[in-house]
Amino acid sequence: SNIFFRPIEKINSVIESYPKGIAGFKRYVEIIDMEPDIQDAKDAVEAHSLKGEIRFENVSFGYEQNRDVLKGVDLAVRAGETVAFVGPSGAGKTTICSLLPRFYDVTGGRITVDGKDIRSLTLKSLRRNIGIVQQDVFLFSGSIRENIAYGDLKATDEQIWEAARRASLEAMIQQLPEGMDTIIGERGVKLSGGQKQRMAIARMFLKNPPILILDEATSALDTETEAAIQQSLAELSVGRTTLVIAHRLATIKNADRIIVVDESGIAEQGNHRDLIESGGIYSRLHQAQYQHA
């Protein structure tokens, strides 16, 4: 399931009234950022640029009282490491990742980034350090330029083109008569699924966060596009701490570490080869998936 659904719901609820242009977008983002239940601590400090070393210390969390989804989760992720979460549907992969940007707060234990409890940082500065690429790419009705800049008024033309180039969008944009100023969305040019994914990737190259959360698509793209997107995502994750919510095992073989989550919490971890050799849950998941391939 898609945890980032909650913020997306908010986006959808204001989408009709969203006016064109960057001023409107700014107001829009303010609406999206409203989080009545999660607030800055009174003495919260700015995060500045984080290295991205993440720790979950004895973390518990439940959406409802007396029903913990996570219980006593311990996890340490090195700065720059790519960690992929796999496991049965409903095990809590998305939940783990959603606690980092504080879509929800832990009910027990704590999460630190670079040794700082994330609740001691301002929400805004914490989220500035985290980029999320998810399957439902949110594009608003506006130009390609505005969609890549995504509300960043300081982004220069050069930076926006650089982001487009790194996401392999350059050629496509150059072919459009209006180029970067082409309007996309409802009343504009419709982008393919793969192009939408690339827009999200371009946004992240521009945002340049030290921490990345990739909520992998469950389906949608054809194999060739899929492989190309995977390549772009691999490039995006270089030098960033990356948490991947994985749905298809083929895409996570190269993760530094694979974490198998089940009802009991973290059941196994290791790299692909180690987990295959140890013959546990991961190796069985892997077998099951490749029998159909």
Which C-beta is closer to ligand ATP: that of 56 or that of 150? 56
Q: What angle do CA 234, 266, 105 make, to 5 degrees?
A: 85
Q: Which of 1, 65, 175, 219 is in the footprint of ligand ATP by CB under 6 A?
A: 1
- Check: CB of residue 101 under 8 Å from CB of residue 94: no
Give whichever of 3 and 83 is closer to ligand ATP, judged by the CB atom: 3
Only segment of 10-18, 91-99, 144-152, 159-167 that touches ligand ATP (CB under 6 A): 91-99
Q: 180-199 as b/e, with b when 16 or more CB fall inside 10 Å?
A: bebbbbeeeeebebbbbbbb
Closer to ligand ATP by CB, 87 or 142: give it.
87
- Which listed range, 12-20, 90-98, 161-169, 220-228, lies at the site for ligand ATP (CB under 6 A)? 90-98
Kindly tell me which residue out of 82, 94, 147, 195 binds ligand ATP, with binding defined by CB under 6 A.
Answer: 94
Options 37, 43, 65, 89; binder of ligand ATP; rule CB under 6 A: 89
Angle, CA 242 vertex, CA 293 and CA 266 arms, to 5°? 70
According to DSSP, residue 100 is labeled T
Rounded to the nearest angstrom, the gap between the alpha carbon of residue 279 and the centroid of all alpha carbons in its chain is 30
Write the CA distances from 32 to 26, 27, 28, 39, 159, integer angstroms.
10, 9, 6, 14, 25
Q: Smallest gap, in angstroms, from Cβ of residue 23 to ligand ATP?
A: 32
Judged by CB under 6 A, the number of residues near ligand ATP is: 12
Q: From the centroid of its chain, how far is CA 81?
A: 15
Say whether residue 93 binds ligand ATP (CB under 6 A).
yes
Smallest distance, Å, CB 280 to ligand ATP?
Answer: 18
The sheet with strand 82-86 has its strands ordered as 130-133, 211-215, 241-245, 82-86, 257-262, 265-270
Site map (CB under 6 A) of ligand ATP, residues 49-88, x = contact:
--------------x-----x-----------------x-
Q: Which is nearer to ligand ATP, 167 or 258 (CB)?
A: 258
Q: In whole angstroms, what is the distance from residue 153 CA to residue 144 CA? A: 14
- Cβ-based nearer residue to ligand ATP, 89 or 291: 89
Positions in the binding site for ligand ATP (CB under 6 A): 1, 3, 63, 69, 87, 89-95
